[in-house]
Amino acid sequence: MAEPNSPKAQADRVLEVFGETVIVRGDAGGTLLDAAVIEEIVPPSVGAPLHRHSREDEISYVIEGTFRIWRGDEVLDVGPGGVALLPRHQVHTFKNIGAGPGRLLTVILPAGFERFFKVVAERRPRDEDLAEIATIAAEFGLEILGPPPA
């Protein structure tokens, strides 16, 4: 494991995924905890597919913008400083509903799922090809259930 201030721990990976920029700020190889930290820069009206994790919990903190977050039966509008807990096994997604780019900081517990973004960035499936995305997702214990709600 890398020390917290080593170059390995500090190296960010910038990936283009689902129309947004995903920056892996820390992962299992560079943190003291079994957690990953990613920052997402999300254009207006862009969101993640509706999905469910089987292996990890997520905590999303809104840095900038306003996001609509679907969590189970709940629909939350969350602005700067807001936090959403997205537990494993619960259907969820988000969409930037603001007029400009939004930024989320997401902690993934345990780490490992951040590799999904790297694989998607490498394979470059079309955003509308949910079958291909679902195949990749299944490798990471993720179930894709459909596009983000309107």
Q: What is the pLDDT of residues 9-26, one digit of tens each?
A: 445 778 677 667 777 776
How would CATH label the architecture of 7-145? Sandwich (2.60)
pLDDT at 44 over 90: yes
Separation of alpha carbons 100 and 81, rounded Å: 17
- What does each C-alpha distance from 121 to 23, 57, 139 come to in angstroms? 12, 22, 15
Question: Is residue 8 helix, strand or coil?
Answer: helix
**Stretch (H or E) spanning 23:** strand 20-26
pLDDT at residue 127 in the model: 64
User: What pLDDT is attached to residue 6?
Assistant: 41
On average, the pLDDT of the chain sits at 84
Q: Spell out the domain ranges in the chain.
A: 7-145
- Specify which of 1-15, 77-91, 102-116, 133-147 reaches the highest per-range mean pLDDT: 77-91
Kindly tell me if the per-residue pLDDT of 34 is higher than 90.
no
77 CB-near residues (< 8 Å, 6+ apart)? 66, 67, 68, 69, 97
Paired tokens of 45: 């009206």
| pTM listed for this prediction | 0.78
Q: What is the pLDDT of residues 52-90, one digit of tens each?
A: 999 999 999 999 999 999 999 999 999 999 999 999 999
The DSSP output letter for 24 is E
